[in-house]
Structure 1
């Protein structure tokens, strides 16, 4: 009987780390673990900054892998990694150490003194005036606040001494790959590189000359390979995974979640978790007459056409926390799960039409950075809680529809929308809104998470 050969998939997400062991023969998940990172830390930019503690993320990775069955891990023959895009972490030599026991790495630890925090995709320190002052990228993709190159250019202007402390930069998932393979210099995928801005996907190279023209420290930039390529291997056995196991370049969590979900070229994938994205796969970059969608590198030289909204499950979660806080101020603490349960029940009972109009731009949008949330047409007929919740859910899908209209899906011959992400799968009020705005069936497949997609990508 032949030896089993599994793939370890990892997703270094915005709020949690997820890992799974994938069997490419049966296409089933053999084992999985996840852990909230609780990594957010205060920023010196106040609410405009968004930082995470990288050693806490490393610790969550160790926690997940160490809790997978050893007899399963010894059959792992490849490792695929993906994670939250756009963000940047800086480091220098000695940014991690391996804790070994009997010649086996039992865990990795990040060394805070030798690295910066992770400046995430949610960071909004780069104001429109600052972004307008930057040189135009040689790319079909724009550069927004929260993108790696924009954050580094902001530091170059406001904190140049900080940049001089470090030798390397990458996304947090690039850092994890460098740590696992003990890489001297980081290597990233075209998916992560494109998410930083100032990267030409057709030439597969950074805009080095443009960045040098403004004294950007280009030596910090990671080397770029195609998504799915291997960049190194485990130097020692790790929690039972054999020494020498090849590790793929870190990829984008969006691309990997879509790879795990997509079943047909006639599917669109809607992911609603922290934020929200609607995506379809196309063969080339083309003008779709729609400035609010982007072409992101996918796999095998194809592109994802994506409407990527900053407002998704985070808006609904904020509404839930607000209600909890109000009740607490009246002296009635209510568990979050109860609030969700009641809101969904009331939202499902609410009548179809409401005159209330909500703009859900609580976090702005990349194409509308100064937009704010707003409510119009409040009257005595629409202030019931169920109606308000339903109006918020409707507004989130309407916002996505404004970014990627159903006509664009129709032109791409899309037959259905495949749902993904806990923000959508647990919320039938949102699901009803999707079918209403897009006039397409919404279905949930067994596909799903980005960790599984990362495993499939390195097959």
Structure 2
């Protein structure tokens, strides 16, 4: 009998799920839905936040739309998502940040809003250049930027310390989803996601805890880090017909997963045009330094195994694509055709 894997991608604008036949490597079923989760930011146009409750509700809905007879045969779950953003939550001995609701011999997960922050996404620009210049230099080959998890946490520590004290866990949105599915007390984060937060030494595979502690950073919120591709835990209950105990992989970076699913030869490069845009290729035998980071148009992020990917990213938040669309609309108007404006 064929066995299947469930793939989950929690992106910037939508949730995508698919069931892959392990015998043929073909996608047997899939579903995609926009999360419509963007909410106004307390910092105005410079901030970018999303409602985690809406994201998880969309995840539940997408999985529920897949055929039950295939879900019953799922033997592993893989999760990836937007890499740089951060969400905070509170777990303790009496209550977690989610509810496990049983119905008709299966379960669903609901977020407890008062125990979970909004998702501060990679598009968040509250950390301006002056603020970033005051931060300590990372012991890493990768620099820090606005929208990176550790930069956002530095900003929260300075400007909203009381809000930060409400929580004892943090992670990317995929880390939160994995912790929820496995009903974990503390999250696990992959090397891929940790590198995307800043202040992670890829050479030693450790957070820059000493540097961060000296800067009064809340290091207690940083998750434990594990090998990309490792199993984080097992499903806490029968979730939309997927059997309880099904292994769930540690959360992965959506960029790395897009490369993994696209390259066919070691000489291939991947051009990804989505909310941002990147051109990427896999590098063998890259050795990251312990910093300080050097200015470069190309960054190297952890991939799978001991490999890295070289990434040239515009990090434009979709602005370049939006400008291109508006240009086409203007040309069309000048030619005498009426095109709706975005």
Whether TM exceeds 0.5 here: the answer is yes
1:42-191 equivalences in 2 (<5 Å): 42-93=40-91, 94-105=96-107, 107-191=108-192
Q: Which residue of 1 aligns with 2:291?
A: none
Q: Within the alignment, does 1:294 sit opposite 2:299 as a pair?
A: yes
1:151-179 per-residue CA deviation (whole Å, 9 max, x = no partner) reads: 00011111111110101000011000011
Between the aligned partners of 2:331 and 2:39, the Cα distance in structure 1 is 25
Corresponding residue for residue 325 of structure 2: 320
Query: Does the 8 Å contact 1:295/1:306 carry over to 2?
Result: yes
Q: Which has the higher helix share?
A: 1
- The answer for the alignment partner of 2:211 in structure 1 is 210
- Asked if the contact 1:86–1:120 (Cα under 8 Å) also holds between the matched residues in 2, the reply is yes
For the residue of structure 2 that corresponds to 1:195, the secondary structure is helix
Counterpart of 1:431?
none
Whole-angstrom distance in 2 between the partners of 1:322 and 1:119: 30
CA RMSD of aligned residues (A): 2.2
Closer, same or farther in 2 for the Cα pair 1:69/1:146, shift >3 Å?
A: same
Deviation at 1:286, TM superposition (A): 5.8
Q: String of CA shifts for 1:360-401, please: whole Å, max 9, x gaps.
A: xxxxxxxxxxxxxxxxxxxxxxxxxxxxxxxxxxxxxxxxxx
Structure 2 SS opposite 1:17: strand
TM-aligned CA deviation for residue 7 of structure 1: 0.5
Within 2, Cα distance between the matches of 1:314 and 1:237? Answer: 42
Alignment counterpart, residue 6 of structure 1, candidates 4, 7, 10: 4
Are the equivalent residues in 1 in contact too, given 2:2–2:22 (CA < 8 A)? no
The alpha-carbon distance between structure 1 residues 312 and 125, as it changes in their structure 2 partners (threshold 3 A), is closer
Which position in structure 1 is the counterpart of 2:232? 231
In the TM superposition, what is the alpha-carbon distance from 1:313 to its structure 2 partner?
5.0
The structure with the larger Rg is: 1
Query: Alignment partner of 1:62: what SS?
Result: helix
Distance 1:62 1:333 in 2: 40
- Structure 1: state its 5+ residue gaps: 340-459
- Deviation, 1:316, is 2.6
Separation (CA, whole Å) in 2 of partners of 1:326 and 1:92: 51
Give me the whole-angstrom Cα distance separating, in 1, the residues matched to 2:57 and 2:319. Answer: 25
C-alpha displacement of 1:290: 7.9
The answer to whether the 8 Å contact 1:273/1:312 transfers is: no
For the 8 Å contact 2:179–2:186, the answer to whether it is kept is: yes
Q: How many residues align?
A: 330
Of 95-104 and 187-196, the range deviating more from structure 2: 95-104
Equivalent residue for 1:35?
Answer: 33
